[in-house]
Structure 1
Amino acid sequence: MKVLFVLVFILLLNACSSEPSRDISSTNNSKVTVALDNAAAVKIQLMQLHSEWKGTPYRFGGMSKRGIDCSGFVALGFKDKFGITLPRTTDEQRSIGQSVSKSQLREGDLVFFKTGWSTRHVGIYIGNHQFLHASTSQGVMISSLNNSYWKQKYWLARRL
């Protein structure tokens, strides 16, 4: 436990950067600062998000633990873990931030997929070719960008 505390403390110290950081609210209502360019700290927050929402069923337009859609999950996740307000829809989310190539992805980047003629899907990159998202079939989960389905549906990525 002591080692874990020291590791988290070191990660928080590394959160200092020349880019502005954002306040996030932790579960005990204390304020913690995590910069989106601090991959290790972002990954910790995203894995905590996964733990809190894992298995929550997909529901189009949903915004709660009773059911959530992909863009709602991304919007609520960024608000909760990073204090960042994102647009509500996938279409609006794909227009924010800067474009980033698939080979340059880092933790916290938004990844987008074309899943149908006019249907789009969004998730949050967590590193190691994996992303966190609200799947229509399995609810909130982690998937691989290398999965044959997601690999052929990959469209673009945005960095906030």
Structure 2
Amino acid sequence: MMSRLSISILVSASIACSMLFVSCGTSRSSNATVYKTTPAGTRGSRPDKKTFDIPASLAPQSHALLTEAKRWIGTPYRYGGEDRNGVDCSGLVLNVYRSALQLKLPRNSAAQADFCKPLSKAMLMPGDLIFFDTAGGGGKKISHVGIYVGDGMMIHSSSSKGVIVSDINADYFKRTFAGAGYVEKYRDMIASNTPKPSPAQQPSKNSGAVTVEKRNEAAAEEPFTLSPVTSLPTRKVTPAATGTPKTAEPTPEEARKKVLNTLIEQKLDSIFNR
């Protein structure tokens, strides 16, 4: 028959074992199975940190997202929690995106994975999400999520340490890695703020052709010449011997008209003088 001391030891051991299976999980149901996320003694990685750097070169949206995430560091873990008194992994992601960018994401990590556009780990940029199968299902059941902050690190809510910054290439996270993804609206926000080339940098549509301004400049440099007009009739001017003003010689047409006028006058005179 077991002593009271033995029974007490067994009960304590059972409680300790049950505490190991706590995580953000994929459901808020009290009957859901939950899993541990960050075991003690993770090998082959940089140690967990309580802070991270935010490069000034990041897009405004990324800067806002990481700044908000940084405010949550040190918050204790609480399954189903969504505030500073306690938060789980998917609750952290939900709050950061909502507070920083007014973007609404699903509540649990599996739904967040479905919500994201998939991408490889090598293509992660700050603000993207990274998912893990901490249930040991070979990457088939997503039960944990973190926000990538750059330099191979992520911020997440660990069941044993609360909100911390961890190395995504740690042995444990390499083994449980289930995929990565980005929130499409977040990437669209970044793309819309990409600086466009100035008019001076944009290639001309008539590349290689002389522009109007250049043509005008070239024309201004050319000497201006006036070709003589040869199609108009000219009159020869002969100077008078006595120094009187120069008179122009009548044209053949004018001479012909003058002769006709003279003949007509003579004819009229002969008629009226009869």
TM-score of the aligned structures, taking structure 1 as reference length: 0.71
Change (3 A) 1:46 1:144: farther
Matched-pair contact (CA < 8 Å) for 2:73–2:164: yes
Alpha-carbon distance between aligned partners in 2 of 1:156 and 1:124, rounded to the nearest angstrom: 12
Aligned to 2:252: none
Does residue 152 of the first structure (1) align with residue 171 of the second (2)? no
Aligned to 1:130: 153
Aligned length: 125
Matched-pair contact (CA < 8 Å) for 2:65–2:97: no
Unaligned runs of 5+ in 2: 1-54, 184-274
Matched-pair contact (CA < 8 Å) for 1:43–1:126: no
Identify the structure with bigger relative contact order (alpha carbons < 8 Å, sequence gap 6+).
1
Alpha-carbon distance between aligned partners in 2 of 1:66 and 1:144, rounded to the nearest angstrom: 25
Alpha-carbon distance between aligned partners in 2 of 1:132 and 1:81, rounded to the nearest angstrom: 15
What do the CA deviations read for 1:45-99 (whole angstroms, capped 9, x no partner)?
2442243111101110001111100000000110001110000011110101211
Amino acid at match of 1:78: Y
Matched-pair contact (CA < 8 Å) for 1:112–1:155: yes
DSSP-derived class of the 1:122 partner:
strand
Amino acid at match of 2:113: R
Deviation at 1:138, TM superposition (A): 0.8
Mapping 1:29-68, distance limit 5 Å: 39-68=58-87
Amino acid at match of 2:63: I
Change (3 A) 1:51 1:125: closer
Matched-pair contact (CA < 8 Å) for 2:130–2:148: yes
DSSP-derived class of the 2:180 partner:
strand
TM-score of the aligned structures, taking structure 2 as reference length: 0.43
Amino acid at match of 2:153: Q
Change (3 A) 1:151 1:82: same
**Which residue among 165, 169, 177 is the counterpart of 1:142?**
165
* Root-mean-square deviation over aligned CA pairs: 1.9
Alpha-carbon distance between aligned partners in 2 of 1:131 and 1:42, rounded to the nearest angstrom: 17
Matched-pair contact (CA < 8 Å) for 2:78–2:87: yes
Of all paired residues, the percent bearing the same amino acid is 36
Matched-pair contact (CA < 8 Å) for 1:50–1:141: no
Change (3 A) 1:144 1:43: farther
